[in-house]
């Protein structure tokens, strides 16, 4: 274990400074409207030196479930959940700064999967909530974010928080985000070869903190953990789901239940008579990923930061501690998948999908992206008490576009 952990100690945390109320403090409010929940991030910055970048001082974070897409047919109710979260910002930001504090909401895969009409109705209601608030509402304050930005902004967040975007000697790290409906992979290619072998739409130039980064990034819609469950069950994008029973060898034999996702109810269950366990299950999830993702050679030997459902499932199976996170190898997920899938009655109570989720994560990493068994994954929820979410990168980008920083 020791040399695994050593690897990450080269990354020094950025310089976080203690509260100084007199200094130039300002705020930014970013909403993450994810497929499974809506989250508010209220960031505090301090501009100590006009010549330098403002320093990130802290974050207030709160979340609600389900996500906006669950209110596809009741947009006002959906906007109400946003309003309740925004009320927190009224308390957190001093009144004299309300008018200078921008508020933005960016929706991800959940809304991308809704019809244009339903998604727009939700966004419109949210926009009204913003307009009625005392905060600064920039143009395009409420939108569906492009998938490639989701990856880039998360990459910016992680590399900013680990101190890789300041000074020389930048050793940036790649990021893996596994959401409910989509999944992202982002890294800074080091080899000419990678640039040559990569499809053009997987490469994006991005300017931040006076540098230009040419990143490899892609968001795979429909490959988030919950969408993958539906794909494994053969229920993804099914028009008429009414009453149909979807079965899988990744579920406990006797299980029969209902599941609500994206405003649709699905009935699912185990293979009553047939096979169950890791082997047949892995073949099922393999069908979902095999040949569907681009595999850049370069990533096989490098290490990645991983969060969201990678983190949650690693916590659920005691691979890492909830507070601490930790470093894993790809094969640790496979080992746990075998353990859980071959003893399903024992894990049944936690979540009936635990076996399927772990098998999918294993297949996604190995057969989807093409990672090696011993590829290192740094699982992180927070760095210096700040959430590792694309929302911080998005806030920097927002402040930059408003001329509040460069
Ligand atoms: N700020 C955050 N802190 C902790 N976990 C988060 C945060 N944002 C997202 N997640 C995790 O992301 C996963 C859900 O992804 P979500 O964002 O709802 O879907 P999508 O990205 O596909 O729209 C969950 O594992 C949830 O715990
Ligand atoms: Ca997300």
CB 88 within 8 A of CB 29: no
Interval between CA 196 and ligand 1 midpoint (Å) = 32
Determine which residue's CA is closest to atom 21 belonging to ligand 1: 179
Question: The domain that contains 141 carries what CATH number?
Answer: 3.30.420.40
Residue 251 phi, psi dihedral angles, 5° rounding: -115, 155
Tokens describing residue 191: 């080899």
pLDDT digits (tens, 9 = 90+) for 326-366: 999 999 999 999 999 999 988 766 789 999 999 999 999 99
Q: State how far the Cα of 32 lies from the Cα of 51, in Å rounded to an integer.
A: 31
Q: State how far the Cα of 40 lies from the Cα of 87, in Å rounded to an integer.
A: 10
pLDDT tier at 169, thresholds 50, 70, 90: low
Is residue 173 included in any domain, yes or no? no
More confident residue, 280 or 208: 280
Residues identified as active-site: 150
Helix (H) or strand (E) holding 355: helix 354-363
Interval between CA 51 and ligand 1 midpoint (Å) = 35
What is the arithmetic mean of pLDDT over 11-18?
39
Is residue 201 included in any domain, yes or no? no
Determine which residue's CA is closest to atom 27 belonging to ligand 1: 308
Cα dihedral 240, 244, 245, 247, rounded to 10, equals -40
Please check whether residues 279 and 328 belong to one and the same domain.
yes
pLDDT value at residue 404: 83
pLDDT value at residue 278: 98
pLDDT value at residue 170: 75
Ligand 1 mutation pick, 176, 224, 308, 313, max ligand atoms within 8 A of CB: 308
pLDDT value at residue 79: 98
Query: Which of 39, 27, 303 has the alpha carbon at shortest distance from 162?
Result: 303
Please check whether residues 309 and 391 belong to one and the same domain.
no
Is residue 191 included in any domain, yes or no? no
CB 353 within 8 A of CB 309: no
Position 305 pLDDT exceeds 70: yes
Is residue 179 included in any domain, yes or no? no
Q: State how far the Cα of 41 lies from the Cα of 402, in Å rounded to an integer.
A: 18
Q: Which ligand is nearest to the CA of 307?
A: 1
Tokens describing residue 284: 């099922």
Query: Which of 237, 271, 249 has the alpha carbon at shortest distance from 359?
Result: 249
Residues with CB under 5 A from ligand 2 (ion): 34, 179
With b for 16 or more beta-carbon neighbours within 10 A and e for fewer, the 8-42 pattern comes to: eeebeebeeeeeeeeeebbbbbbbbbbbbbbbbbb
- From the CA of 389, give the closest atom in ligand 1: 1
Those residues with Cβ within 8 angstroms of residue 160's Cβ, 6 or more apart along the chain or in another chain? 14, 56, 209, 392, 393, 396
pLDDT value at residue 23: 57
Q: State how far the Cα of 203 lies from the Cα of 218, in Å rounded to an integer.
A: 8
pLDDT value at residue 364: 98
- From the CA of 183, give the closest atom in ligand 1: 22
Is residue 62 included in any domain, yes or no? yes
Residue 235 phi, psi dihedral angles, 5° rounding: -110, 0
Percent of the chain with pLDDT over 90: 79
Tokens describing residue 197: 């072998």
CB 362 within 8 A of CB 317: no
CB 221 within 8 A of CB 147: yes
Tokens describing residue 386: 């700040």
Helices 390-401 and 147-161, packing angle to 10 deg: 100
Please check whether residues 6 and 141 belong to one and the same domain.
yes
Q: Which ligand is nearest to the CA of 39?
A: 1
pLDDT value at residue 406: 60
pLDDT value at residue 239: 62
More confident residue, 100 or 237: 100
Ligand 1 mutation pick, 31, 32, 33, 36, max ligand atoms within 8 A of CB: 36
Q: State how far the Cα of 320 lies from the Cα of 312, in Å rounded to an integer.
A: 9
CB 371 within 8 A of CB 363: no
pLDDT tier at 127, thresholds 50, 70, 90: very high
What single string gives the DSSP state of each residue in 27-47? EEEEEEE-SS-EEEEEEEEEE
What is the arithmetic mean of pLDDT over 146-165?
94
Determine which residue's CA is closest to atom 10 belonging to ligand 1: 308
Q: State how far the Cα of 262 lies from the Cα of 107, in Å rounded to an integer.
A: 14
Cα four-point dihedral sign 227, 233, 238, 241 = negative
Please check whether residues 377 and 391 belong to one and the same domain.
no
Structural domain that includes position 128: 2-147+387-401
Q: What's the predicted TM-score (pTM) here?
A: 0.92
Residues touching ligand 1 (Cβ under 6 Å) are 32, 34-37, 39, 67, 108-110, 179-182, 224, 308-309, 312, 381, 387, 389
Q: State how far the Cα of 366 lies from the Cα of 177, in Å rounded to an integer.
A: 15
Please check whether residues 229 and 143 belong to one and the same domain.
no
Is residue 192 included in any domain, yes or no? no
Position 274 pLDDT exceeds 50: yes
| Residue 329: how many other CB atoms lie within 10 Å | 17
Please check whether residues 351 and 396 belong to one and the same domain.
no
Interval between CA 38 and ligand 2 midpoint (Å) = 9
Determine which residue's CA is closest to atom 12 belonging to ligand 1: 308
Determine which residue's CA is closest to atom 3 belonging to ligand 1: 387
Determine which residue's CA is closest to atom 11 belonging to ligand 1: 308
Ligand 1 mutation pick, 34, 388, 393, max ligand atoms within 8 A of CB: 34
3-state secondary structure of 11: coil
Is residue 345 included in any domain, yes or no? yes
Please check whether residues 393 and 371 belong to one and the same domain.
no
Mean pLDDT is lowest, of 14-23, 115-124, 302-311, for 14-23
Asked if residue 92 belongs to a known ligand binding site, the reply is no
Is residue 190 included in any domain, yes or no? no
Please check whether residues 19 and 68 belong to one and the same domain.
yes
pLDDT digits (tens, 9 = 90+) for 18-75: 444 445 899 999 999 999 999 999 999 998 887 777 899 999 999 999 999 999 999 9
Residue 367 phi, psi dihedral angles, 5° rounding: -90, -25
Question: The domain that contains 302 carries what CATH number?
Answer: 3.30.420.150
Please check whether residues 392 and 322 belong to one and the same domain.
no
Asked if residue 183 belongs to a known ligand binding site, the reply is yes
Please check whether residues 48 and 112 belong to one and the same domain.
yes
CB 350 within 8 A of CB 339: no
Q: Which ligand is nearest to the CA of 182?
A: 1
Asked if residue 182 belongs to a known ligand binding site, the reply is yes
Question: E strands along 34-125, which residues?
Answer: 38-47, 55-64, 103-107
- From the CA of 110, give the closest atom in ligand 1: 23
Q: State how far the Cα of 107 lies from the Cα of 38, in Å rounded to an integer.
A: 9
pLDDT value at residue 160: 93
Please check whether residues 342 and 396 belong to one and the same domain.
no
Please check whether residues 6 and 44 belong to one and the same domain.
yes
Q: State how far the Cα of 356 lies from the Cα of 227, in Å rounded to an integer.
A: 12
Q: State how far the Cα of 222 lies from the Cα of 370, in Å rounded to an integer.
A: 19
Q: Which ligand is nearest to the CA of 69?
A: 1
- Domains identified in the chain, total number: 2
β-partners of residue 326 are 379
pLDDT value at residue 405: 75
């Amino acid at each position: 274990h020791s040399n695994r952990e050593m690897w990450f100690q080269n990354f020094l945390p950025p310089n976080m400074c203690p509260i100084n109320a007199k200094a130039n403090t300002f705020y930014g409010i970013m909403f993450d409207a994810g497929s499974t929940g809506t989250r508010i991030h209220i960031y505090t910055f301090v501009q100590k030196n006009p010549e330098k970048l403002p320093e990130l001082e802290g974050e207030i974070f709160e979340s609600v479930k389900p996500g906006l897409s669950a209110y596809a047919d009741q947009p006002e109710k959906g906007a109400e959940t946003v309003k309740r979260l925004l009320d927190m910002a009224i308390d957190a930001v001093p009144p004299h700064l309300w008018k200078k504090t921008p508020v933005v909401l960016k929706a991800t895969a959940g809304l991308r999967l809704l019809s244009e009409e339903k998604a727009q109705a939700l966004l419109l209601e949210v926009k009204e909530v913003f307009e009625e608030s005392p905060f600064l509402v920039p143009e395009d304050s409420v939108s569906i974010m492009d998938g490639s930005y989701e990856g880039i902004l998360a990459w910016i967040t992680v590399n900013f928080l680990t101190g890789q975007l300041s000074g020389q000697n930048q050793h940036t790290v790649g990021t893996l985000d596994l959401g409910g409906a989509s999944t992202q992979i982002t890294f800074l290619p080091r080899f000419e070869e990678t640039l040559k072998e990569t499809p053009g739409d997987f490469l994006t130039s991005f300017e931040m903190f006076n540098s230009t980064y040419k990143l490899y990034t892609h968001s795979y819609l429909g490959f988030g953990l919950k969408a993958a469950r539906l794909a494994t069950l053969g229920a993804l994008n099914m028009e008429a789901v009414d009453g149909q029973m979807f079965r899988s060898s990744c579920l406990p034999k006797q299980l029969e239940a209902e599941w609500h996702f994206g405003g649709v109810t699905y009935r699912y269950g185990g293979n009553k008579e047939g096979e169950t366990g890791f082997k047949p299950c892995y073949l099922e999830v393999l069908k979902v990923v095999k040949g569907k993702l681009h595999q850049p050679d370069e990533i096989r030997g490098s290490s990645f930061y991983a969060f969201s459902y990678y983190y949650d499932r690693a916590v659920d199976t005691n691979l890492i501690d909830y507070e601490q996170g930790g470093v894993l190898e790809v094969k640790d997920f496979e080992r746990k998948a075998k353990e859980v899938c071959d003893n399903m009655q024992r894990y049944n109570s936690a979540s009936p999908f635990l076996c399927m989720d772990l098998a999918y994560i294993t297949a996604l990493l190995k057969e989807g992206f093409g990672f090696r068994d011993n590829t290192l994954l740094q699982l992180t929820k927070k760095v210096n008490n700040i959430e590792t979410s694309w929302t911080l990168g998005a806030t920097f980008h927002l402040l930059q576009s408003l001329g509040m920083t460069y």
